[in-house]
């Protein structure tokens, strides 16, 4: 099978992470963790489209970024503390982390993609922007949304706090797969069920941590369990959900079997939880 051409659009960031058993600074974001997964697991190098500053350059040497040169004065910075329940996030440089301009170069990259993934950390990719972005995609490309950023906003003191994904009814039906965590919204299943009633083709998956994940329909969720790890086994949970998203995407693209894709993703996410992060 020929490798798919993959384009990932969304926010990139520099992470300051304090995790279960590690403290480190490195690149971060949904889109880069997903890109790393494809590189390591399938020897595929996706194109990542984002807004970033020159401070990102030292961290992004192993990725293919568009535009090729920094297009902002600074890069979004995230502080993550996964030892806290719920996780604590702070964000900095948010005004620089706007949606990247869809230049002819970027639009052509999207047009050539077999898989188009959108992953947000902030809610500033408007409905109009998403529609324009996807207007450049091939009709038969697999379109995937990882909408975590639509569930968040940043307070005046930099704390990342919840918000309602009010754009959901307009954005969700534009995609084939939508994947997010039950931690992203207090009524994660209820809103997913509501969104499912708006579309006949979008598959909505809600992850449930050690309990597994569910395919949410307008009627009853279809639960697909996993084998949970004990807390003592977990080394680093940062990026685990992104690995899950990437695995679902690739497996579904190859096999067109959503149940299998989620079970494959459970295995990949467990491996990520046990992995020692690169320093």
Domain containing 254 — which CATH number? 3.40.1190.20
Structure tokens at 131: 């529609």
In a domain, 119, yes or no: yes
In a domain, 197, yes or no: yes
Residue 197 has pLDDT above 80, yes or no: yes
> Are β-strands 47-49 and 64-66 bridged in parallel, bridged antiparallel, or unpaired?
parallel
Q: What is the pLDDT of residue 234?
A: 47
Cross-strand bridge partners of residue 49: 9, 66
Look at the block and give the residue holding tokens 């279960």. Answer: 20
In a domain, 140, yes or no: yes
Mean pLDDT over residues 203-224, rounded?
Answer: 90
In a domain, 55, yes or no: yes
Q: Is 129 helix (H, G, I), strand (E, B) or coil?
A: helix
Tell me which of 174 and 156 has the higher pLDDT. 174
Round the average pLDDT of the chain to a whole number and report it.
89
In a domain, 72, yes or no: yes
The count of structural domains within the chain is 1
Nearest C-alpha neighbor of 37 from the set 198, 232, 249, 221 = 249
CB-CB contact of 119 with 8 (8 Å): yes
Structure tokens at 148: 């975590």
Question: Which residues make Cβ contacts (< 8 Å) with residue 210, sequence separation at least 6?
Answer: 226, 228, 229
Residue pLDDT, tens place only, 85-128: 666 778 999 999 999 999 999 999 999 999 999 999 999 999 99
CA angle, corner 63, sides to 57 and 69, nearest 5?
45
DSSP secondary structure letter of residue 159: B
In a domain, 35, yes or no: yes
Nearest C-alpha neighbor of 122 from the set 58, 73, 75 = 75
Kindly report the number of other CB atoms within 10 A of residue 152's CB atom.
19
Look at the block and give the residue holding tokens 């069920």. Answer: 193
Look at the block and give the residue holding tokens 């039950």. Answer: 182
In a domain, 45, yes or no: yes
CB crowding 233-267: b at 16 or more within 10 Å, else e: ebebbbbbbbbbbbbbbbbbbeeeebeebbbbbbe
Residue pLDDT, tens place only, 22-52: 788 889 899 999 999 999 999 999 999 999 9
In a domain, 43, yes or no: yes
CB-CB contact of 152 with 161 (8 Å): yes
Nearest C-alpha neighbor of 205 from the set 237, 169, 243, 244 = 244
Q: Which domain holds residue 267?
A: 12-274
Structure tokens at 53: 């500053």
């Amino acid at each position: 099978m020929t490798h798919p051409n993959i384009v990932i659009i969304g926010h990139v960031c520099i992470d300051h992470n304090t995790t279960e058993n590690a403290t480190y600074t490195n690149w971060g974001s949904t889109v880069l963790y997903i890109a790393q997964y494809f590189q390591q697991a399938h020897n595929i190098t996706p194109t990542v489209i984002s807004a970033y500053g020159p401070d990102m350059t030292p961290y992004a040497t192993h990725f293919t970024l568009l535009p090729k040169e920094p297009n902002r004065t600074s890069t979004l910075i995230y502080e993550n503390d996964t030892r806290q329940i719920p996780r604590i996030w702070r964000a900095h440089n948010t005004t620089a982390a706007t949606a990247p301009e869809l230049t002819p170069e970027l639009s052509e990259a999207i047009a050539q993609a077999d898989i188009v993934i959108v992953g947000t950390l902030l809610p500033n990719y408007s409905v109009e922007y998403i529609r324009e972005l996807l207007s450049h995609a091939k009709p038969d490309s697999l379109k995937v949304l990882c909408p975590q950023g639509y569930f968040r906003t940043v307070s005046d003191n930099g704390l990342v706090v919840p918000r309602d994904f009010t754009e959901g009814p307009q954005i969700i039906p534009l995609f084939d797969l939508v994947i997010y965590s039950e931690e992203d919204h207090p009524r994660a299943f209820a809103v997913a069920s509501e969104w499912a009633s708006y579309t006949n083709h979008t598959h909505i998956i809600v992850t449930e941590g050690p309990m597994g994940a569910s395919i949410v329909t307008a009627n009853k969720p279809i639960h697909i369990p996993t084998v949970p790890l004990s807390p003592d086994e977990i080394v680093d949970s940062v990026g685990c959900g992104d690995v899950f998203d990437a695995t679902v995407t690739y497996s579904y693209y190859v096999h067109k079997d959503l149940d299998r894709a989620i079970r494959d993703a459970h295995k990949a996410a467990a491996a990520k939880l046990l992995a020692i992060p690169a320093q």
